[in-house]
Amino acid sequence: MVRPFVHDVPATRVIFANGSIARVADEVHRLGGKRALLVSGRSEAPFAATIAGQLGDRLAGEFTDVVMHVPVETARQAVNAARDVDADVLVALGGGSSTGIAKAVALETHLPVVAVPTTYAGSEMTTIWGMTENGRKTTGRDAAVLPRTVIYDPELTLTLPADLSAASGMNALAHLVEGLYAPSVSPVLAAQAEEGVRALASALPRVVADPADLDARGDALYGAWLAGWILGTCGMGVHHKICHTLGGTYNLAHAPTHSAVIAYATQFNEPYAPEAMNALVRAFGSAGRSAPDAATAVWELARDIGAPTSLGSIGFDAASIDEAAAIVFAGSPTNPRPVDLDGVRSLLGAAYEGARPVGRLA
């Protein structure tokens, strides 16, 4: 039986190919851009130089002061930078932090964005913006921030170190898990999410074994594209609310936090989302990773690729569990399992410990 759904998705032009960084200037031109502001972080400097060379006199300026979680002050500086050079298009090069800064500028200026992602975060495919002020992260959706073109070039991910690749891959996986159990997921999005899980579960161990394996990098980036697509088109649940809280309030690194929490969010929801759990087990099985249940499959993947499986290991203090749980609960996340304060506490407690998830989470 097909469950009721509303399928209402935005359109983004997606270019996926090795070497496609060479097409950035064409895509800027296609959008009518004559004065681009290039936003990129320090690690992306060599690729930024390539893009700057391509753009030539269409490059109006560069913004390189990228900071994780988009502090409002940084967003303001980036908006001013765009205005100072009279930019008419934004090029976001890098991980979710670069994309996030470009989105903050687009939110204010409505300039079109060409995104060139270099991690698996997925922000490039969404209308979601995020900003942090006074220790609280605020997110919202606005069509103005959705990149008009996304250029996925697996070659740009070859330099992403194994540990960052593993954590970022688990961040992508978390979008797919929560998309699969989102109340509004349509059958076509569910099939795409399942394909994304299969691609990531197959690719990430190969990426970590050999970060220079371009085929594995391509498969992982393909999974990350699907993950970003699902993040942008399906509502997310308690897991994303927890990770935003931990990032915004305790400044924990984004991808490692997702990695540490997702197995326990899966375990928390397991009895309430049987179809999603079956899809996850099936997808992991297709990638050659059979497991007795979805939470175990997720946890074993993180363990095998050396991604964080516990909040304790990434600097979260157990003394903050009650406070964090209260913030998450107050945010009343939409989630298959009703979210109460004790439930979030127990989820955070399990994620803090990081043990193999067994049975039902109280």
To the nearest whole angstrom, how small is the minimum distance from the Cβ of residue 96 to ligand NAD? 2
Q: Which of 36, 128, 170, 325 binds ligand NAD (CB under 6 A)?
A: 128
254 near ligand NAD (CB under 6 A) = yes
179 sits near ligand NAD (criterion: CB under 6 A): no
Q: What end-to-end distance do the CA atoms of the chain give, in Å?
A: 31
In eight-state DSSP terms, residue 218 is: H
Q: Considering the rule CB under 6 A, would residue 40 count as an interface residue with ligand NAD? A: no
Cβ atoms 265, 273 nearer than 8 A: no
Q: How many residues bind ligand NAD (CB under 6 A)?
A: 32
Q: Which distant-in-sequence residues (6+ apart) come within 8 Å of 19 by Cβ?
A: 153, 155
Sign of the C-alpha dihedral computed for residues 232, 214, 50 and 168 taken in this order: positive
Please give the Cα distance from 346 to 141 (Å, whole number).
30
Q: Which of 35, 74, 89, 97 binds ligand NAD (CB under 6 A)?
A: 97
Minimum distance from CB of 339 to ligand NAD (Å)? 21
Q: Which is nearer to ligand NAD, 242 or 277 (CB)?
A: 242
Q: Does 126 bind ligand NAD (CB under 6 A)?
A: yes
Residue nearest to ligand NAD (CB): 96
Per CB under 6 A, 121 contacts ligand NAD: yes
359 sits in the region (left: phi over 0; alpha: psi -120 to 50; else beta) called left
Q: What per-residue string of b and e applies to 223-244 under the rule 16 or more CB within 10 Å gives b?
A: bbbbbbbbbbbbebbbbbbbbb
* 321-330 and 341-353 helices, crossing angle to 10°: 130
DSSP, res 356: P
Find the helix or strand (DSSP H, E) in which 47 lies: helix 45-55
136 membership: H or E segment, kind and range: strand 136-141
Among 156, 203, 287, 327, binds ligand NAD (CB under 6 A): 156
- The interface region with ligand NAD, picked from 55-63, 114-122, 302-310, 342-350 by CB under 6 A, is 114-122
The CB-of-285 to ligand NAD minimum distance in angstroms stands at: 27
Least distance between ligand NAD and beta carbon 43 (Å): 3
**Strand partners for 16:** 152
**Closer by beta carbon to ligand NAD, 157 or else 267:** 157
Q: Report which of 15, 336, 350 is spatially closest to residue 178, judged by C-alpha positions.
A: 336
Give Cα 186 to chain centroid, integer Å: 20
Smallest distance from ligand NAD to CB 36, Å = 20
Q: Residues 205-244: x/- map of binding to ligand NAD (CB under 6 A)?
A: --------------------------x-------------
- Please give the angle made by the CA atoms of 85, 89 and 92, to the nearest 5 degrees: 100
Which residue in 160, 174, 226, 324 binds ligand NAD (CB under 6 A)? 160
Q: Does 165 bind ligand NAD (CB under 6 A)?
A: no
- DSSP secondary structure code for residue 144 in this structure: G
- By CB under 6 A, name the binding residues for ligand NAD: 41-44, 68-69, 94-98, 100, 118-119, 121-123, 126, 128-130, 156-157, 159-160, 164, 168, 171, 231, 247, 254-255
